[in-house]
């Protein structure tokens, strides 16, 4: 059995902190776990911390983009935080622009961005 990436709940935010070198199956499991947890908890926001990731290849990049889309459909905004500079440079050269994925420099800014997004959403509602 492969390891699973833990999904933590803090208030109405789900926090995913990826701490290990990701195997493809872990990436697929995370996608499923996260979708289930959003529905089970009614979370409004998801933060994916990739500060420990030494590389993001097209498979992981696609997972980040797909997760953001799935979460949005389920009523939660996703913010990817903590991308290393070398990873960002590599991603862009690889040709991945991560369209549709919101990013923030770190966890603190990511949480701030979520709060602002939620505030503007409740204004409109």
Q: At what angle do helices 58-73 and 85-94 cross, to 10 degrees?
A: 90
Q: Is 4 in the site for another protein (CB under 8 A)?
A: no
Does position 52 interact with another protein (CB under 8 A)? The reply is no
- Please report which helix (H) or strand (E) contains residue 48, including its range: strand 45-49
CA atoms of 36 and 96, how far apart (whole Å): 27
- Is residue 55 near another protein by the rule CB under 8 A? yes
Task: Identify which of residues 36 and 59 has a Cβ nearer to another protein in the complex.
Answer: 59
Q: Which residues pair with 15 in a beta bridge?
A: 8, 47
Binding string, 63-82, against another protein, x = CB under 8 A?
--------------------
Contacts with another protein, residue ranges (CB under 8 A): 2, 21-25, 54-59, 61-62, 84-87, 89-90, 93-96
């Amino acid at each position: 059995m492969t390891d699973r990436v833990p999904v933590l709940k803090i208030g109405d935010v789900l926090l995913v902190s990826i701490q290990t070198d990701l195997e493809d199956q872990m990436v697929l499991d995370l996608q499923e776990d996260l979708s289930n947890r959003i529905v089970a908890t009614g979370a409004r926001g998801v933060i994916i911390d990739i500060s420990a990731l030494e590389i993001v290849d097209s498979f992981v990049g696609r997972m980040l983009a797909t997760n953001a889309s799935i979460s949005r459909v389920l009523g939660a905004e996703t913010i990817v935080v903590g991308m290393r500079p070398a990873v960002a440079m590599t991603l862009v050269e690889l040709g991945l622009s991560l369209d549709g994925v919101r990013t923030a420099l770190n966890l603190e800014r990511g949480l701030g961005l979520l709060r602002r997004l939620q505030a503007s959403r409740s204004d409109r509602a």
